[in-house]
Amino acid sequence: SQTIHQWPATLVQPVGSPLSLECTVEGTSNPNLYWYRQAAGRGLQLLFYSVGIGQISSEVPQNLSASRPQDRQFILSSKKLLLSDSGFYLCAWSAGANTEAFFGQGTRLTVV
């Protein structure tokens, strides 16, 4: 069966420090991968999505970047965190355009 792993679960980082959140999927190949951010009490904002290795689509210009170095690995990064980067980050995968997305447990990021 397919599983998705996202880590860390919580993270507290100082302003100006780098960020690396990792997401991996097991049990499937060539998944669509997604990074979302959820501000407190708000909806899910799509940050990046990828339909294949090295193919990254960015939805909102911001302080973050994403990479997909391997088929089932999706990384969210920042060189210098801002206070406004705080939030709940969710990674998700889907098998294609006609299937639902499955989500990781999320990472609560607090920038101080």
Partner 1 sequence: AQTVTQSQPEMSVQEAETVTLSCTYDTSESNYYLFWYKQPPSRQMILVIRQEAYKQQNATENRFSVNFQKAAKSFSLKISDSQLGDTAMYFCAFMSTGTASKLTFGTGTRLQVTL
Distance CA 47, CA 76 (A): 9
Beta bridge partner(s), residue 76: 21, 66
Query: x/- binding map, residues 63-92, to partner 1, per CB under 8 A?
Result: -------------------------x-x-x
C-alpha span between 22 and 43 (Å, rounded): 22
Pairing status of strand 32-38 against strand 44-52: antiparallel
Q: Which is nearer to partner 1, 26 or 59 (CB)?
A: 59
Contact between 3 and 15 (Cβ < 8 Å)? no
Closer of 69 and 100 to partner 1 (Cβ): 100
Comparison of 14 and 96: residue with beta carbon closer to partner 1: 96
Asked if 98 touches partner 1 (CB under 8 A), the answer is: yes
Binding site for partner 1 (CB under 8 A): 32, 34, 36, 41-44, 46, 49, 51, 57, 59, 88, 90, 92, 94, 96-98, 100-103, 105-106
